[in-house]
Homo-oligomer: A and B are copies of this chain.
Amino acid sequence: MKDKRPAPERDLNLTPPCVILDRPQLADNIGAVARVMANFGLHELRLVAPRDGWPQERAWSMSSGANWPLDEAKVFATVADAIADLKHVYATTARPRETQLPIVTPRGCADTLYRDAHNHTKTGLLFGAERAGLETSDIALCQGIITIPVDPHFQSLNLAQAVNIVLYEWRLQVLDAPKPEFTQNMHAPADLNIVHGLYGQLEDELEKAGFFFPPEKKDSMVRNLRVALGRARFTEQEVRTFRGVVTALTKGRGKVLARRAETQEKDGD
């Protein structure tokens, strides 16, 4: 398979971020995003439930020849699916919701993106639909929020323009960065689908336990949990540990002890 990374990314052996568009409405914008990706050396595009289906010819005609991100774009049903194999995702939004995720500027996140790229920690840049933006529940699946410093009196930034700014900062970081000697003293975070498995287990159990009360608060309670856990960037081992924790907590300490005792009794025979 041909290495699609441009020279600096290839020479530095980086694993660059992918671009994820959530429910994009206009094929024009998808094409414009592909063009910007080509301008700044990225190639992996993921689409979550594009409004008018996929492929759409108009995207290609708007990309000015930057066809490769479109040719290989992958389509997903949900944001969770689209980011399942990633380890760190930034959501871009002009109006950061009240959430406990770190909020950074495009410039502020470029360094982190670069470090992850250098460590082959696969990252994603998530952008919302043209008018609606991102759902708060999808933002809660991410590990950080990028906000572009537009004038508060006119915040309506075109989708491709938002991508443009973030990828421009990525590119500058790649061009400016000396080959860094990051010390990789931490294990890589787990793929997000693994983390989401933990969330699901936890929330199912909490549901059964009547934790989400009153019911109309459930969505925001879930989001707050996910955000708080997400910031921890669990490793796979830690996810396993915490799944065990949830199991232990729900099955009851007594049962675990009972089973252990039972096993020991057998072993003792």
Interface residues of A (CB under 8 A from B): 6-7, 32, 35-36, 38-41, 64-66, 105, 107, 148-158, 160-161, 164-165, 168, 171-172, 175
Q: Does A175 contact B154, Cβ atoms closer than 8 Å? A: no
State how many angstroms separate the Cβ of A204 from the closest Cβ of chain B: 42
13 additional A-B pairs beyond A105-B172, A161-B161, A168-B168, beta carbons within 8 Å, are A6-B153, A39-B154, A40-B150, A40-B151, A41-B151, A149-B168, A149-B172, A149-B175, A150-B171, A151-B171, A158-B160, A164-B165, A165-B168
Chain B's closest residue to A175 (CB) is B149
Copies in the complex: 2
Which residue from B41, B107, B153, B160 sits with its C-beta under 8 Å from A161?
B160
Q: Does A158 contact B64, Cβ atoms closer than 8 Å? A: yes
Q: Which B residues lie within 8 Å of A164 (CB)?
A: 161, 164-165
Q: Which B residues lie within 8 Å of A150 (CB)?
A: 39-40, 171
Q: Which B residues lie within 8 Å of A107 (CB)?
A: 172
Given the interface pairs A151-B6, A164-B164, A165-B164, the reply to whether A39 lies near B157 with Cβ below 8 Å is yes
Q: Does B171 contact A36, Cβ atoms closer than 8 Å? A: no
State how many angstroms separate the Cβ of A153 from the closest Cβ of chain B: 6
Which residue from B38, B149, B151, B161 sits with its C-beta under 8 Å from A154?
B38
State how many angstroms separate the Cβ of A68 from the closest Cβ of chain B: 9
Q: Which B residues lie within 8 Å of A151 (CB)?
A: 6, 38-41, 171
